[in-house]
Structure formats: structure tokens, C-alpha cells
Amino acid sequence: MTVRAVRGAVQLDRDEAGHMDERVSQLLTAILERNALTADDLISVWFTATPDLRSDFPAAAARKLGIVDVPLICAQEMDVAGAMPRVVRILAHVETGLTRAGISHVYLGAAGALRKDIAQ
């Protein structure tokens, strides 16, 4: 097994805790499924949220999915003029047999515009 990093992002429609939980759960589930990973493969997960998202911690969605023994941390994304609003990003460190080129980075909905070079 090798340690790899998997990226992902999703844009929320509004800053509400339930909506954040739903969208972050979708993103994290898609990252795991598209890379044939389970929670046991996770080493750690970084979540960032744009400054306009304040209703909840994105990591709370992971805990609700049953990811309870993996180190998670939330941080605020840089406040850059003109950046896409209401975005949660994920950087997950995983143990996997996949090559770097075999990793599927997941950008859902409008967030696909953030990284057209690696979004799948």
C-alpha cells in the first residue's frame, strides 16, 4: 500500500447546516466510491470552507457517516477576491494500491470548474 492524496470540492447552494451535511456527505462518499476506498483506508482528512460558510463544521458530515476514528480538521479557505463562493474542499490522505494517475479527484457540480485539469 502507498499513501496518496485525493482532492475534492463541492459548492453549496446556501449556508445551512443540514445542506452542508448533505453536500459534504455526497462529496466524501463519491471520493470513497470512485477510488474503491473504505473508511479504514483513510489516514486523515482536511476540510476547508470559504469564509461565507459558517453554519457548521464540514467534518461533522464525516462523523455522521461513521468516520469516527480518523483525524479530521477544518480550516478556512483564503478569502480571494472573485473566488467561487460557498465551497467546501477536501484533501484526504489514504492508503491505496492505486497509482497517482489512478486516483479519481472528485469535483461535484459547479465546483468542477475549479480544477478542470484533474476533475473527473
What pTM value is reported for the model? 0.94
> For residue range 36-58, what is the model confidence (pLDDT) as tens digits?
999 999 999 999 999 999 999 99
Q: DSSP states of 79-109 as a string?
A: --TTPPSSEEEEEEEEEES--GGG--BEEEG
CA-wise closest residue to 91 among 2, 6, 4, 3: 6
Q: Which of 50, 57, 54, 56 is nearest to 77 (CA)?
A: 50
pLDDT tens per residue across span 55-85: 999 999 999 999 999 999 999 999 999 999 9
Rounded CA gap, 113 and 61, in Å?
24
